[in-house]
Structure 1
């Protein structure tokens, strides 16, 4: 060990002894006040004990200062000090044991009289032995203490003195001064008397109202209560009482000390945030204070060990709490000290109430006491909340005075802040402790839609307040203002596991749900707190309870939590698809955990998605290979088959492994067509190289790779497919040549591969309909007939007229030799009249110029009859001027053109027909 470690160990043992000494001082003070008759030599024993305590605190202060400044004592010196500290601790333990036994006998009642009488025969030997042991310890440590006194000075050492030491020293001085009146029931102390500490050079004066020390198990309603006061400067504060209620030394024999009253004194120092009020002694690095709340009766004589175990000792306020032991302290506010003002007439005035608030803000406890005793109410209303004001000032003495005079501990201010809430917000633990004893309810919200004090403490994750409230009955299953449970709120606030364990040990429901239906386990998993997950499971959390969803779903995001849940009984059969979720979020650790737990690697999520396809989709090679190695089936489809997924998501690197694992490229068919559809030339080449047919049809669309390449206008794919054996005579969703008329470049490549292009009826009309004159030319060059009708009805010429493709009409008439009188769905000239948009007669004139006969009747119609029905004189004259008119032609109803004009009352048309030249 290094010198620093030896020094740290010695300092720890020294602190352990001084803390025990502080507790012994309190026990000794209790015994002095509780004993019906003091043993011979008790006062001397107390003084010897105080001497040793002061020496120990001197050395501790020196060691703390040396450690703080980085100095190290010689190893031999620290080892010798360590040995002496252990000896002192052993002496203190013996003294504490004797005091505890004596206190127990004093409190035992008449039934213990024989025991006390019997022990008195031997007590004369115990006190001298203890004095002798303390004397040896004192002498062995004296020189070390002097060394630190020389280096630090008395002021630094006095600051480290414990409150128990201060209280016992002052009480002994008071008892010695009042020894002349011992046994007198009606004697009164000299007015203005004060008690100085042993070392008065720092002007720290302590007054102890001995009549206020009331045991929480047997509290009396006293006519008067004085609290410990202190001052760091100026003359000592007077200890003044009214004559009619002056305490007597003899009265002390019938009262037990109140621990809290011994533990805290107020000094007018600058206010600092602290769990405790200001005290006479400035806190050292180890924060030596007395406990903030009265322990149960059975702890009074239990020594420091029991206090440590219960989290009540000072050490537990600066170190991690050990929540393994549940402590519940019963509260009986009726037994707490109360005081009725001697006068209440005329005291309830605004000015006096304001004076009370001013006195509280100025930390003038004497003025507060006087005002309350004159009848100023402690509950002056929500606008000026006296208790809350005292708590904000961290003035425990005033808090106790207000409660003593009837302040309501649960009353809230107009800002919906109750005293307990104020104590939590201010970090004033001592005030919270005394409020709880006076009936403050840590479960009571100060107003609707506000959090209770306990909830506020949990939101702040304040260990001290949480433990205190739990000891005094906090409801661990209450719901916060925003609908959270205590557990879910604490987990959200990222608290320590020790706090969660503490709450659970006090009965929190590990399965309780928030208003959103979330359980603590769900919240812990979401936060990734595997330690809290384990704690909740240890306390009965159901890993299969939806909250709001099954716990394995969120745990998939947290592999460690997932592993714990599966080991602790979570049923993965209730979460079908969890493997796919783990794959989708790329959690290979979760995938491994699930595989090891026996989850099926082929199980689908939502009945569709498989883990293997998701791994391919997300390009997670590690998960892909892990799944295949653990039995994933390469032929189980998700939204598509795994092999198809490799093509659609450009994951060609996975295809060889899939095929080697049993992936079938031929069932279902269509994988090559999929490669074309997704523009994956590399995949298409690989598939063709590995035996996939270029003519396979997709099961649903019946498309072939070639027809898809044509449809998507991919000439490069058409070229590859034709060169790799694709058959242009195999129909896909349509015939390849019929689809190719839309893309002349592809058609040009395709026509040479066709043995008989004319075999595909209607292809010319399709090219015209697509307005692709280049395709028309290519088809004509390939031998396709210009009159090739589609469906036996639609001719290329009539389609060109219908679609108003003038260039194609002209090409068909002038270059291709299309017959202007060959009908399609109608005669070309009739179709031209029906598609006529005035004044454009270009197509009509083209047809007439190429020999279209307007008098030819087809299916009961001719161009002349159509012109009469249209009532267009210009068109009728144009037709007659070119060809003349056949007045004997009849329509499908047997009427001639003149009869049709007469029936319609069109005299102009009738006149044109009569005057027109006759058709030859």
Structure 2
């Protein structure tokens, strides 16, 4: 057997050509009815067109029958047929365009007539070229058609001919007999062909179009008496309206419809459908009305397809008919069953314009059929995926009697008002007069109005008369979206059956306001199921980035039935949103519904798929979900630290579940955080005990070691003793006492020092001891505690304790009380001077520290005091402590004083030094006070020094003294051209 894709593609291409041909037939018929004199060759063009259409019918019927019976064809034959069908479709497209232009000229007013006059000058050539092309296609297809004649048997390939074909054949027949086709209505297209079988069309090698007269003559006598010789064409099976041909996307394969029935039932159904195509015309309407008034009800003919329920049998859908259509044999012999008799009687003898009242309209279908179909879907029972491929071609269609009112603004406004006020009789009458069932004045979308009114009858009428169920209003909203928004279940199904695309938002562009998105947002599972049944894409990503399933699972009030419905219809449980979120992740984080999570897992959701995080991470906040995930295969090894997260959010139930599942109690989160330290940090004694009971390591570091965590977070009383009892080591790492001092935890320090649990002299990683930290932070109480606890002030931390204490006299006093030799720490007095702590200087001198104690062997207390400009300290050191004014530090005190002079006239320090015996000529490291005064350019200082020598001791300035470079003071002054300094220096020698 030929592969399905090739078979269906071949049959679909053939079917497309026949459907397109019916549209062209309608246009040709309209053109013949609009012109008095057709262009030269047009009649022959129409005959050639019908010839090729008959060949296509035969091929289509043969292909269908062969595929049904399992026949197969060679590959080269399939390719050849496909190429021929493509060429035929191309010819039909050009012909259809030609007919559009011809009709445009006739309907275009004065401008159209002018264009017609110009273009019709060349029409003969266009028609001739078209005939030539059609002839080639016909000859190419004729031999292919003969191949299928053996498989057709008694099946007439013309049984399923559309009304456009039949009407065109009738018009050509009138022309052959010399009758005019002007003002010929498509509704009267069967007039002559119903009575004369032999005169319908030129003879071909293929079967001819069937006549309708034998069917009528074979009816029961009661029916024949009421039938009219002139019939009205019912275009309920016309594949298109008077506008464009429907797109192939909205057409279903003819083979899929026909294969629902057996061959025999197919023939009888086709025959029955043709029987139902005729209605009495307006000529006999009055007489029929009188007869029909005696009937209990007035209804249009039934749906031309057999109404049926959809059942799911062994995984595929089948159609079960309500009424068995009469077979061809039973019709011709006059033996009709009750159902068939009623069907024929209804279709042949009830004028379609009759209506019961103003609110009820007879029609091609009724609301009961829609309700029955809804019941058959069982939208509230157990969920089972049922898929129906809506075939709008099989739905009832009605062609208006005329199109004269199509552009009448008053009638269009009247239709809008009738729809809004739900006047069904008026709606039907206006549509039957040709008023378009689409957008009306003021951008009023009449189908939308009917939907918002929840008026199923008006919706049915509009759709029967050709309203486009996919046309959006001025806001870009489709009728189907409106029906879903107002939760109009019956209206939604009717739109879907007429071809509404559930995957379109406004302007045929997928967007955020898809019908399925609205049904999910409003949590209407019955609407969602209906949309899915008729082809809504269950995995289509909405504009905001979510899939239908992700949209459905969020929130505490998520509908479990809706979620299960989407899953049953094939929603991918592992599909992610634009943000990388999966449905399982969304269900856990946004709602935490364990039943929803279970449903997702039951339908293949991967508990180990990051979406964007592993599922165990968010489930720590939802213990019930966490337990289900672990039971269904979630691997905690893929989420190291998940126990720490559960501890961090203080969820004891989640901690218990994870520990019971064997999660590593010592696993770090992010390579840092441990559950034990987190429980200490958050002061969760219950979780802390659970961790220790589960074997948590009391010495495993987190950001801090557990024992240190107790100190820094002041968790001493309960936690620290239990950690030590569990094996916590207070000496590793060292420095826990220093940490207690640093954070000011006196309780922890006392507990650590008691019974010598920790060594107070341990240094931290930064080299600090508890004592040096207490000194630095100026904590005398802790210094006392440390000294009592055994802290040694001779042990160096970040510095020597006594050096660090010079800035804190109180602490220094405590240290000096336990230090045996304070002088061993060189420079401590100089440091006290620099710190400007006179009290500390006094304490150190009292403790026996030398006044000449130099820091680093250089900086003496006196020179440092001079350098710092501390006159009080200089005075104390010289007058009270007895500092030697000629003892150098980093330099001679006098030199240091000259360098520190700021030129403001304050020479107190200089005078004090000179008064206490500072030697002006004393050299130290090749320099003295005189040289410094010349170097600094301070004339007043130079004069003070020279005058002091002359006045006090009658001495002279030693000008022979040289610096390290061999220069004297005079040489320095001369090199700078400072004559005044030279004069003063020379005066110092007299």
Short-chain TM bin: 0.5 to 0.7
Q: Is the 8 A contact 2:524 2:562 kept in 1?
A: no
Q: Is the 8 A contact 2:736 2:758 kept in 1?
A: no
Output aligned runs, 1:497-576, within 5 Å.
497-526=560-589, 527-576=591-640
What's the offset of the Cα at 1:842? 3.2
Taking the aligned partners of 1:735 and 1:728, their CA distance within structure 2 comes to 8
Q: Is the 8 A contact 1:833 1:844 kept in 2?
A: yes
Taking the aligned partners of 1:524 and 1:266, their CA distance within structure 2 comes to 53
Taking the aligned partners of 1:790 and 1:399, their CA distance within structure 2 comes to 105
Output aligned runs, 1:857-876, within 5 Å.
857-876=923-942
Output aligned runs, 1:900-911, within 5 Å.
900-911=972-983
Taking the aligned partners of 2:653 and 2:467, their CA distance within structure 1 comes to 60
Q: Is the 8 A contact 1:768 1:808 kept in 2?
A: yes
Question: How many residue pairs end up in the alignment?
Answer: 660
What's the offset of the Cα at 1:375? 1.7
Report whether the alignment pairs 1:420 with 2:480: yes
Q: Is the 8 A contact 2:299 2:346 kept in 1?
A: no
**Cα distance change, pair 111–850 in 1 and its aligned pair in 2 (3 A):** closer
What's the offset of the Cα at 1:418? 0.5
Report whether the alignment pairs 1:898 with 2:970: yes
Q: Report the equivalent of 1:172.
A: none
Q: Is the 8 A contact 2:760 2:770 kept in 1?
A: yes
- The counterpart of 1:656, out of the listed 708, 721, 725, is 721
What's the offset of the Cα at 1:363? 1.8
Taking the aligned partners of 1:680 and 1:485, their CA distance within structure 2 comes to 55
Report whether the alignment pairs 1:591 with 2:655: yes
Q: Is the 8 A contact 2:832 2:840 kept in 1?
A: yes
Q: Is the 8 A contact 2:359 2:425 kept in 1?
A: no
**Cα distance change, pair 109–713 in 1 and its aligned pair in 2 (3 A):** same
Taking the aligned partners of 1:747 and 1:605, their CA distance within structure 2 comes to 46
What's the offset of the Cα at 1:356? 2.3
- Provide, for residues 132-185 of structure 1, a one-character-per-residue CA deviation record: whole Å limited to 9, x for no partner: xxxxxxxxxxxxxxxxxxxxxxxxxxxxxxxxxxxxxxxxxxxxxxxxxxxx99
Q: Is the 8 A contact 2:469 2:500 kept in 1?
A: yes
Q: Report the equivalent of 1:332.
A: 391
- SS of the aligned residue for 1:475 comes to coil
Taking the aligned partners of 1:399 and 1:793, their CA distance within structure 2 comes to 108
Give the unaligned 5+ runs of structure 2.
1-218, 221-260, 267-283, 310-338, 348-355, 362-366, 951-956
Q: Is the 8 A contact 2:588 2:622 kept in 1?
A: yes
Taking the aligned partners of 1:699 and 1:266, their CA distance within structure 2 comes to 100
Taking the aligned partners of 1:803 and 1:906, their CA distance within structure 2 comes to 30
Cα RMSD, aligned residues only: 3.0
- Provide, for residues 98-154 of structure 1, a one-character-per-residue CA deviation record: whole Å limited to 9, x for no partner: xxxxxxxxx999889xxxxxxxxxxxxxxxxxxxxxxxxxxxxxxxxxxxxxxxxxx
- SS of the aligned residue for 1:797 comes to helix
- The counterpart of 1:252, out of the listed 331, 343, 347, is 343
Taking the aligned partners of 1:538 and 1:390, their CA distance within structure 2 comes to 42
- Provide, for residues 771-799 of structure 1, a one-character-per-residue CA deviation record: whole Å limited to 9, x for no partner: 21111111011010111111111111222
Q: Report the equivalent of 2:670.
A: 606
- Provide, for residues 238-280 of structure 1, a one-character-per-residue CA deviation record: whole Å limited to 9, x for no partner: xxxxxxxxxx995525889xxxxxxxx99979xxxxxxx9xxx
Is the deviation greater in 854-863 or in 760-769?
A: 854-863
- The counterpart of 1:460, out of the listed 504, 508, 522, is 522
- Provide, for residues 597-647 of structure 1, a one-character-per-residue CA deviation record: whole Å limited to 9, x for no partner: 111100111111111001001100000000101111111111111111111
What's the offset of the Cα at 1:451? 2.3
Q: Report the equivalent of 2:251.
A: none
Q: Report the equivalent of 1:477.
A: 539
Q: Report the equivalent of 2:378.
A: 311
Report whether the alignment pairs 1:748 with 2:813: yes
What's the offset of the Cα at 1:377? 1.4
Taking the aligned partners of 1:389 and 1:905, their CA distance within structure 2 comes to 110
Taking the aligned partners of 1:812 and 1:191, their CA distance within structure 2 comes to 142
**Cα distance change, pair 194–835 in 1 and its aligned pair in 2 (3 A):** farther
Taking the aligned partners of 2:851 and 2:918, their CA distance within structure 1 comes to 17
Query: After TM superposition, what 4+ stretches of structure 1 lie above 3 angstroms from structure 2?
Result: 107-112, 184-196, 212-219, 248-251, 253-256, 265-269, 289-294, 349-352, 447-450, 693-696
Q: Is the 8 A contact 1:185 1:251 kept in 2?
A: no
Report whether the alignment pairs 1:355 with 2:418: no
Q: Report the equivalent of 2:985.
A: 913
- SS of the aligned residue for 1:644 comes to helix
Q: Is the 8 A contact 2:358 2:423 kept in 1?
A: no
Q: Is the 8 A contact 2:754 2:789 kept in 1?
A: no
Give the unaligned 5+ runs of structure 1.
1-35, 38-106, 113-183, 197-206, 220-247, 257-264, 270-276, 278-288, 297-303
- The counterpart of 1:188, out of the listed 288, 302, 309, is 288
- Provide, for residues 351-380 of structure 1, a one-character-per-residue CA deviation record: whole Å limited to 9, x for no partner: 433332222222222222222222221123
Taking the aligned partners of 1:778 and 1:350, their CA distance within structure 2 comes to 114
Relative to the length of structure 1, the TM-score reads 0.68
**Cα distance change, pair 657–424 in 1 and its aligned pair in 2 (3 A):** same
**Cα distance change, pair 507–216 in 1 and its aligned pair in 2 (3 A):** farther
Taking the aligned partners of 2:751 and 2:890, their CA distance within structure 1 comes to 49
Q: Report the equivalent of 2:916.
A: 850
Q: Report the equivalent of 1:436.
A: 496
Relative to the length of structure 2, the TM-score reads 0.63
Q: Report the equivalent of 1:785.
A: 850
